[in-house]
């Protein structure tokens, strides 16, 4: 006969090796998870708790009353069952509130990031506008030949080397850097 390897059922990060351990460390989330994953059934079978095993087999995993059925499996005292159900509901409400708070924090972070990006874009555009305005003022003070050379697509090196056009070239460079 093959010897069964006994294992501890983890409830609230505490190993449970007996029904008393389960009752002392009962954690609704962990019991439900272990039940849904068939670990609870294997545990009951391993510890030769056949009556509880058979009752657990009859519990519907998709039932809304699953927690009540699991509580009935381990507890007879109605007050204790009610206490554990209320504790579970409070924990569930707390988890929901924490999840909502995390979602709000995430939304705020996204909004702040979008605002920062828009601010950066606005600042860059304002700098471009300022440089273009300064460039236009400089063009007004330049002679006609410089503007004509720009129109004829004179190379940047040629403009740079011509002292008469260096002011205009300086502003062209600033615009290129921002872009």
Over residues 59-76, the pLDDT tens digits come to 988 888 898 899 998 888
Question: CB of 22 within 8 A of CB of 9?
Answer: yes
Closest Cα partner for 38 from 53, 26, 19? Answer: 53
Q: What mean pLDDT is predicted for residues 50-57? A: 91
1-10, 31-40, 107-116: the lowest-pLDDT one: 1-10
Q: Is 157 left (phi over 0), alpha (psi -120 to 50) or beta?
A: alpha
Q: In 101-125, which positions are buried (b, 16+ CB within 10 angstroms) versus exposed (e)?
A: eeeeeeeeeeeeeeeeeeeeeeeee
CA–CA distances in Å: residue 143 to residues 122, 131, 132, 168: 33, 19, 18, 11
Mean pLDDT of all residues in 153-163 = 54
Report which of 161, 167, 173, 172 is spatially closest to residue 140, judged by C-alpha positions: 167
Tell me which of 160 and 84 has the higher pLDDT: 84
The answer on pLDDT for 48 being more than 60 is yes
Q: Give the pLDDT score at 151.
A: 47
Q: pLDDT for 33-42, tens place per residue?
A: 999 999 999 9
pLDDT band for 125, please (50, 70, 90 cuts). confident
Q: Is the pTM of this model over 0.85?
A: no
């Amino acid at each position: 006969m093959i010897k069964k390897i006994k294992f501890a059922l983890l409830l609230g990060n505490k190993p449970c090796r007996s029904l008393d351990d389960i009752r002392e460390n009962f954690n609704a989330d962990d019991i439900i998870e272990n039940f849904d994953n068939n670990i609870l059934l294997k545990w009951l079978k391993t510890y030769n708790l056949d009556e509880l095993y058979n009752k657990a087999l009859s519990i519907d995993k998709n039932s809304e009353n699953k927690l009540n059925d699991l509580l009935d499996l381990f507890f007879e005292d109605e007050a204790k069952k009610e206490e554990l159900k209320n504790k579970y509901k409070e924990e569930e409400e707390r988890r929901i509130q924490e999840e909502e708070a995390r979602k709000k924090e995430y939304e705020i972070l996204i909004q702040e990031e979008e605002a920062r990006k828009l601010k950066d874009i606005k600042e860059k555009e304002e700098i471009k506008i300022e440089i273009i305005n300064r460039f236009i003022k400089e063009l007004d003070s330049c002679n006609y030949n410089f503007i004509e050379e720009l129109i004829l697509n004179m190379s940047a090196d040629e403009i740079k080397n011509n002292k008469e056009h260096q002011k205009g070239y300086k502003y062209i460079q600033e615009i290129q850097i921002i872009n």
